[in-house]
């Protein structure tokens, strides 16, 4: 049985990415652009009081080249 991805706030997702070595490059409006030193990039929408939906979380993980299992083991 596959575990579901957790619901995260954008703040929690940004903190996770920064812990994985991603750096905030810029922010335009409500979107933050992160880049890793190896070239991987992703954008995280910043909306207070809203969680990132699981489909968007999966898309972000795909962009940064991380599997669901990798994320779950590193996030906990």
The answer to whether position 46 is within a domain reads: yes
- Count of domains observed in the chain: 1
Beta carbons of 75 and 16 less than 8 angstroms apart: yes
The answer to whether position 2 is within a domain reads: no
Domain containing 24 equals: 8-71
The answer to whether position 17 is within a domain reads: yes
* pLDDT score, position 1: 58
* pLDDT score, position 2: 72
Q: pTM of the full predicted structure?
A: 0.92
The answer to whether position 1 is within a domain reads: no
Instruction: Specify the CATH number for the domain of residue 12.
Output: 3.30.920.30
pLDDT per position in the chain (76 positions), as tens?
578 899 999 999 999 999 999 999 999 999 999 999 999 999 999 998 999 999 999 999 999 999 999 999 998 7
């Amino acid at each position: 049985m596959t575990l579901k991805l957790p619901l995260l706030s954008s703040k929690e997702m940004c903190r996770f990415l920064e812990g994985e070595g991603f750096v905030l490059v810029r922010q335009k409006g409500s979107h933050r652009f992160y880049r890793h030193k190896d070239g991987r990039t992703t954008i995280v929408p910043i909306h207070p009081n809203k969680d990132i939906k699981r489909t968007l979380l999966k898309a972000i993980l795909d962009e940064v080249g991380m599997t669901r299992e990798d994320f779950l083991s590193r996030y906990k």
